[in-house]
């Protein structure tokens, strides 16, 4: 069984939840408001990416509880495949939406006129629905794996009763052990199905989207660098967004998907697979930075929140500062009077 270091995993999960949940709530409010007013394809894609992150964060406490119990699953067992399914579903839907955003950005600078004429929010909506359904179908393997190799043996022949009882007892013991951990301790029959599926997930749901994103953002940066009439600050911000998205894509999703390839070659789950999954967890709190650089509406919301905090803090401080200044001024003036009296006395 893979062991995730309690301190490390719990720290990453808590940090991701504390940073990611409020920022994604702000992003969700911002994009919902923006879509209601005037929907654009990029806003619809960013909204779906936010929903994916929020869904991931809502089920993250189950992972925290599992880590706190030394990877022993003591919650209702149906929550195990459900939480695992949501966990992996949100990881791979994020890769799709990040890729779609990169394509949208690239087409906007490479073919500005043609793209603006054919740009329709309904296309982004249809793509989003397809991404959710496609990922749902692929990740349904999480629900299927526990049932592989669990068919009972036939009991027609009385001579097989002892063998059947022994097998049943062994099967019951295995199922009991399987229910003590979540999505671990796979049998050979389960690995024969799971490992090739993981490799397919790596190729279809990570490698292809990553190559598309890399192509789009490299050309996006190349084209923007040649457009000198665009404001330098805006150009640098867009280039930074593109580079940041590629780095997040590679660092957050790369290690976990590499574990699929290593697992297929070694024909077992790598011992470091859980630690690689921690990198994917960080994506939920890094996406809001992508939102900030990708959407002017998000930047406006962040500015409004910061301005509100800034206006409230000085209000609390300003009511105290004048009093302190007044007291210190009074004290200093009284001290000066005393010094003058002492000087005059000594002079006499």
Q: How crowded is residue 273: how many other Cβ atoms within 10 Å of its Cβ?
A: 19
pLDDT confidence of residue 150: 58
CATH domain 6-294 topology: Rhopdopsin 7-helix transmembrane proteins (1.20.1070)
d(CA 125, CA 106): 19
pLDDT confidence of residue 179: 56
In which residue are the tokens 């749901």 written?
A: 205
pLDDT confidence of residue 297: 76
3-state secondary structure of 115: helix
DSSP character at residue 224: H
Tens-level pLDDT at each residue, the chain (348 residues):
455 677 888 999 999 999 999 999 999 999 999 999 988 999 999 999 999 999 999 999 999 998 888 888 888 888 999 999 999 999 999 999 999 999 999 999 999 888 888 889 999 999 999 999 999 999 999 999 888 875 444 444 444 444 344 444 434 444 444 457 887 878 899 999 999 999 999 999 999 999 999 999 999 999 988 887 778 888 888 888 899 899 989 999 999 999 999 999 999 988 888 889 999 998 998 888 877 766 777 778 888 887 788 788 766 555 454 444 444 444 444 554 544 444 443 333
pLDDT confidence of residue 2: 53
**Hey, where are the domains in the chain?**
6-294, 316-347
Burial class of residue 133 (count of CB atoms within 10 Å of its CB; 0-12, 13-18, 19+): exposed
pLDDT confidence of residue 15: 94
* Helix segments in the chain, DSSP class H: 6-38, 41-68, 79-110, 112-118, 121-139, 141-144, 161-180, 188-202, 208-226, 232-266, 273-294, 296-318, 321-347
pLDDT confidence of residue 314: 64
pLDDT confidence of residue 238: 86
């Amino acid at each position: 069984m893979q062991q995730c270091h309690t301190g490390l995993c719990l720290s990453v999960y808590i940090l991701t939840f504390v940073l990611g949940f409020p920022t994604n709530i702000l992003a969700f409010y911002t994009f919902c408001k923006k879509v209601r007013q005037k929907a654009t394809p990029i806003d619809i894609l960013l909204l779906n990416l936010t929903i994916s992150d929020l869904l991931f964060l809502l089920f993250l406490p189950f992972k925290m509880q599992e880590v706190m119990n030394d990877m022993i699953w003591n919650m209702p067992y149906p929550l195990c495949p459900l939480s695992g399914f949501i966990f992996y579903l949100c990881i791979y839907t994020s890769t799709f939406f990040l890729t779609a955003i990169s394509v949208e950005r690239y087409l906007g600078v490479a073919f500005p006129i043609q793209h603006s004429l054919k740009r329709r929010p309904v296309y982004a909506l249809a793509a989003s629905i397809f991404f959710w359904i496609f990922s749902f179908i692929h990740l349904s393997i999480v629900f299927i794996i526990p049932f592989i190799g669990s068919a009972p043996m036939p009991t027609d022949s009385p001579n097989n009763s002892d063998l059947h009882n022994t097998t049943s007892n062994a099967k019951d013991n295995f199922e009991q052990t399987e229910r003590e951990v979540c999505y671990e301790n796979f049998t050979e029959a389960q690995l024969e199905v799971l490992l090739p599926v993981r490799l397919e997930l790596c190729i279809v749901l990570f490698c292809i989207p990553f190559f598309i994103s890399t192509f789009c953002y490299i050309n996006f940066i190349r084209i923007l660098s040649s457009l000198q009439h665009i404001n330098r600050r805006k150009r640098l911000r867009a280039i930074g967004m593109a580079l940041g998205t590629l780095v997040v894509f590679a660092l957050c999703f790369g290690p976990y998907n590499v574990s699929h390839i290593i697992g297929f070659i070694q024909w077992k789950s790598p011992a470091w697979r859980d630690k690689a999954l921690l990198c994917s967890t960080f994506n939920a709190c890094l996406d809001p930075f992508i939102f900030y650089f990708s959407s002017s509406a998000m930047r406006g919301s962040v500015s409004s929140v910061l301005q509100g905090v800034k206006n409230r803090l000085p209000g609390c401080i300003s009511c105290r500062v004048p009093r302190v200044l007044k007291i210190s001024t009074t004290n200093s003036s009284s001290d000066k009077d005393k010094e003058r009296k002492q000087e005059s006395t000594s002079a006499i």
